[in-house]
C-alpha cells in the first residue's frame, strides 16, 4: 500500500509492471491504490486493464473516480483503445468529461453528440459546464437541431404524463418518473439556449430551477419571452407551466389529444432513445404490475449489448415472471 | 432485490428523498443485501462506523447497553452519518426480528459521489433541513428557559 502510494507520486513511469500486477489484487484497498496510481500517472498501456475492472458494478465508480484524475489526456489516449471498449464505456467517459476541462474532452463530447440517445443530455450538460459556445455554422446548426428535438420530446412527454390512466397500479411512480423526464428536457433545452444564444439570464434561470425557487421562476419565464425567439420561448413556457402545475388545461389537453401512441410503444419502439434508463425500467415494471403481458412479450427479443444493467435486470425479471 | 426496488426503498428514505431516481441507480448498484437473524448484533457501540443500513424488512433495536433508544422498522435507515464521517458508533444495533437490510459502504459511497455531485446536493439539502430543524428546537428551548 505504502509502495503504491509512493509510486503514484513519482513522475517517471517505471513501475508499470508492478502496478499492472496489483490492479487485480484481492485486497480491495491495494486494488484501489493501484487503479489510482495507474490513472494519476496517465499510463495509457494500463487503460484496457483499468477499464476491464469496470465490468464489476462494485468497482465501476472506483474506475470513474480514478479516470477523472487522468485528466484531459484520457480523451486522447482512449483513441488507442479498441472501438468496442470505447463504445461500451461511452456513458462513463461522458460522465468523466463533465468533470474535466480541455480540448480533447470537448472534442470527444462533440463527436458523441452525433446520435441522439439517452446520454445526449449528459453530453450537453458536460459541454455547458465547459462553457462551450458553437463557433461555426455547422456546430450552431447541430445545437439548434438538438434544441428543437428536446423541446418536441419534452412536450410529447406531457401527453405521456396525462395518459397514464391505463396503469392503475404504481401509477404515481410512473408519473413521477415522467415528470423527472420533462424537467430534464426543460433543463437540457435551457442549457442549449444558453450555449446558442449566449444569454447569461438563462444560467440564472437554471440556478433558480436547481434551488427550487418556484415563485421566482414565474418572473424568469417573462425573461425568456424577451430574450429568445418566439417559438422557442413558447415551447419552454409550456414545459415550465406543466412542471409548476401538472394538471390538464386547454394547452396540455390539446397536446395529449394529438399524441395517441401508447406509452409502452413510445418508450420501447418509436421514441426509445429519448427516455432515460429509469423510465424504461419503471415502464417495464409497471406493465408487469398491471398485467400487460403482450407488451412485455414484444420486447423479449429487443436487447441491446450496451443497454444499462437496470434495464437488463428488469427485463429478465418480468419476462421470467410472466412465463 | 431488483435495482428498481432498491431505488424505491432509497427514495423513501430521508437522506435520499430529494435525489433524482436516475442518480439513485448509481447508489442502488452499490447497495449490498444483508440478512440478520433475530437477536443478532448488527454493530456495537464503539465499533468503527463505515457503513449505513436501510431496513427492507424486519425490526432493529438501537440501544446503549440495556437502554433502548429506538425501534426501527421497514423503510427506515440507521448509521447514515457513518457514510459521511469515520466516527465510532454511538449506539448498538440488534435485529429484533429476522431482517433484510441494504448496506452501503463508505468507500464505495465516496467513489459514487466523487463521480456524481448531484447525489451530494440531495444529501446536503436533507442535512441542511435537519440542521435548521435542530436550530429551531434549540431556539425554542432557550426561549422556554428564559
Q: Which CATH superfamily is B3-145 part of?
A: Jelly Rolls (2.60.120.10)
Residues A174 and A310 in one domain: yes
pLDDT recorded at residue A12: 60
Kindly state the cell numbers that stand for A38.
Answer: 495507474
Residues A199 and A104 in one domain: no
Q: Which residues contact A43 (CB under 8 A, 6 or more apart)?
A: A13, A16, A19
Residues A148 and A189 in one domain: yes
Closest approach of B97 to chain A, Cα-based (Å): 28
Q: Is residue A245 part of a domain?
A: yes
Domain positions in chain B: 3-145
Residues A164 and A290 in one domain: yes
Reading phi first (left if > 0) and then psi (alpha if -120 to 50, else beta), residue B31 is in beta
Kindly state the cell numbers that stand for B122.
Answer: 440531495
Establish if B111 touches chain A: CB-CB under 8 angstroms.
yes
Domain count, chain A: 2
Q: Is residue A130 part of a domain?
A: no
- Give the count of alpha carbons within 13 A of A197, CB side only: 19
Instruction: Determine, for residues B115 and A281 on separate chains, whether the beta-carbon distance falls below 8 Å.
Output: no
The answer to whether residues B58 and B98 touch, using CB atoms and an 8 Å cutoff, is yes
Instruction: Determine, for residues B25 and A61 on separate chains, whether the beta-carbon distance falls below 8 Å.
Output: no
What angle, rounded to 10 degrees, do the helices at A120-129 and A171-197 form? Answer: 40
Burial A125-146 (b: 16+ CB within 10 A, else e): bbbbebebebeeeebeeebeeb
The DSSP H or E segment spanning B93 is: strand B92-95
Closest approach of A230 to chain B, Cα-based (Å): 31
Q: Is residue A20 part of a domain?
A: yes
Residues A106 and A141 in one domain: no
Residues A98 and A141 in one domain: no
Closest CB to A313: pick one of B3, B20, B26: B3
Instruction: Determine, for residues B112 and A61 on separate chains, whether the beta-carbon distance falls below 8 Å.
Output: yes
Chain B residues whose CB is inside 8 A of the A285 CB are 2, 4
Q: End of a domain among A112, A127, A153?
A: A112
Residues A188 and A92 in one domain: no
pLDDT recorded at residue A155: 94
pLDDT tens for the 323 residues of chain A, in order:
666 666 666 666 567 888 888 888 888 888 888 999 999 989 999 999 999 888 877 788 899 999 999 999 999 999 988 888 888 888 889 889 888 889 999 999 988 887 777 788 889 998 998 889 998 898 899 999 999 999 999 999 999 998 887 787 888 899 999 999 999 999 999 999 999 998 888 998 898 888 877 778 877 788 888 889 999 999 999 999 999 888 878 888 888 788 888 899 999 888 888 899 999 999 999 999 999 988 898 888 777 767 888 999 999 999 999 88
Give residue A262's domain range. Answer: 137-322
pLDDT recorded at residue A90: 87
Establish if B120 touches chain A: CB-CB under 8 angstroms.
no
Mutate to test the interface with B, among A59, A182, A278 (most CBs of B within 10 A): A278
User: For B112, which residue in chain A has the nearest alpha carbon?
Assistant: A61
Q: End of a domain among A112, A127, A150?
A: A112
Residues A171 and A316 in one domain: yes
The residue ranges of chain B whose pLDDT is under 50 are none
Establish if B7 touches chain A: CB-CB under 8 angstroms.
yes
Kindly state the cell numbers that stand for A308.
Answer: 444499462
Residues A6 and A146 in one domain: no
pLDDT recorded at residue A122: 87
The answer to whether residues A53 and A24 touch, using CB atoms and an 8 Å cutoff, is yes
Closest CB to B115: pick one of A61, A281, A317: A61
CA–CA separation, A178 vs A176, rounded Å?
Answer: 5
Residues A150 and A262 in one domain: yes
Residues A57 and A170 in one domain: no
* Nearest by Cα to A48 from A81, A95, A79: A81
Residues A169 and A56 in one domain: no
pLDDT recorded at residue A117: 79
pLDDT recorded at residue A3: 67
Instruction: Determine, for residues A61 and B111 on separate chains, whether the beta-carbon distance falls below 8 Å.
Output: yes
Amino acid at each position: 500500500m505504502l509502495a503504491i502510494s509512493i509510486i503514484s507520486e513519482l513522475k517517471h513511469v517505471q513501475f508499470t509492471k508492478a502496478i499492472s500486477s496489483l490492479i487485480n489484487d484481492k485486497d480491495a484497498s491495494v486494488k484501489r491504490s493501484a487503479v489510482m496510481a495507474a490513472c494519476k500517472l496517465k499510463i495509457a498501456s494500463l487503460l484496457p486493464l483499468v477499464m476491464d475492472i469496470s465490468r464489476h458494478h462494485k468497482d465501476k465508480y472506483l474506475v470513474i473516480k480514478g479516470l477523472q484524475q487522468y485528466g484531459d489526456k484520457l480523451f486522447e489516449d482512449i483513441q488507442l483503445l479498441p472501438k468496442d471498449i470505447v463504445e461500451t464505456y461511452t456513458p462513463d467517459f461522458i460522465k468523466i468529461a463533465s468533470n474535466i476541462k480541455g480540448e480533447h474532452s470537448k472534442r470527444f463530447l462533440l463527436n458523441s453528440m452525433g446520435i441522439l440517445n439517452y446520454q445526449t443530455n449528459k453530453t450537453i450538460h458536460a459541454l455547458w459546464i465547459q462553457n462551450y459556445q458553437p463557433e461555426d455554422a455547422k456546430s450552431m446548426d447541430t445545437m439548434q437541431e438538438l434544441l428543437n428535438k428536446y423541446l418536441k420530446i419534452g412536450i410529447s412527454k406531457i401527453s405521456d404524463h396525462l395518459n397514464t390512466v391505463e396503469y392503475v397500479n404504481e401509477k404515481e411512480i410512473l408519473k413521477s418518473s415522467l415528470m423527472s423526464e420533462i424537467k430534464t428536457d426543460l433543463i437540457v433545452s435551457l442549457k442549449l439556449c444558453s450555449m446558442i444564444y449566449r444569454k447569461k439570464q438563462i444560467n440564472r434561470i437554471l440556478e433558480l430551477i436547481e434551488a427550487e425557487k418556484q415563485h421566482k421562476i414565474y418572473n424568469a419565464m417573462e425573461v425568456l419571452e424577451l430574450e429568445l425567439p418566439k417559438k422557442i420561448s413558447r415551447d419552454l413556457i409550456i414545459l415550465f407551466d406543466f412542471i409548476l402545475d401538472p394538471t390538464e388545461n386547454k394547452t396540455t389537453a390539446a397536446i395529449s389529444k394529438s399524441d395517441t401512441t401508447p406509452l409502452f410503444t413510445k418508450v420501447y419502439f418509436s421514441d426509445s432513445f429519448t427516455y432515460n434508463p429509469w423510465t424504461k425500467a419503471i415502464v417495464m415494471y409497471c406493465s408487469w404490475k398491471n398485467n400487460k403481458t403482450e407488451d412485455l412479450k414484444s420486447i423479449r427479443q429487443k436487447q441491446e449489448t450496451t443497454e444499462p444493467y437496470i434495464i437488463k435486470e428488469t427485463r429478465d425479471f418480468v419476462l421470467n415472471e410472466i412465463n | 432485490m431488483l435495482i428498481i426496488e432498491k431505488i424505491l426503498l432509497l427514495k423513501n428514505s430521508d437522506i435520499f428523498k430529494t435525489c433524482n431516481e436516475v442518480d439513485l441507480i448509481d447508489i442502488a448498484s452499490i447497495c449490498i443485501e444483508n440478512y440478520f437473524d433475530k437477536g443478532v448484533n448488527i454493530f456495537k457501540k464503539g465499533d468503527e462506523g463505515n457503513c449505513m443500513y436501510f431496513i427492507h424488512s424486519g425490526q432493529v433495536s438501537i440501544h446503549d447497553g440495556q437502554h433502548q433508544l429506538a425501534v426501527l422498522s421497514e423503510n427506515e435507515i440507521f448509521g447514515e452519518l457513518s457514510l459521511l464521517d469515520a466516527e465510532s458508533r454511538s449506539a448498538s444495533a440488534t435485529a429484533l426480528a429476522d431482517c433484510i437490510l441494504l448496506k452501503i459502504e463508505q468507500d464505495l459511497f465516496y467513489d459514487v459521489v466523487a463521480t456524481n455531485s448531484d447525489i451530494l446536493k440531495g444529501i446536503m439539502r436533507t442535512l441542511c433541513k435537519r440542521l435548521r430543524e435542530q436550530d429551531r428546537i434549540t431556539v425554542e428551548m432557550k426561549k422556554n428557559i428564559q
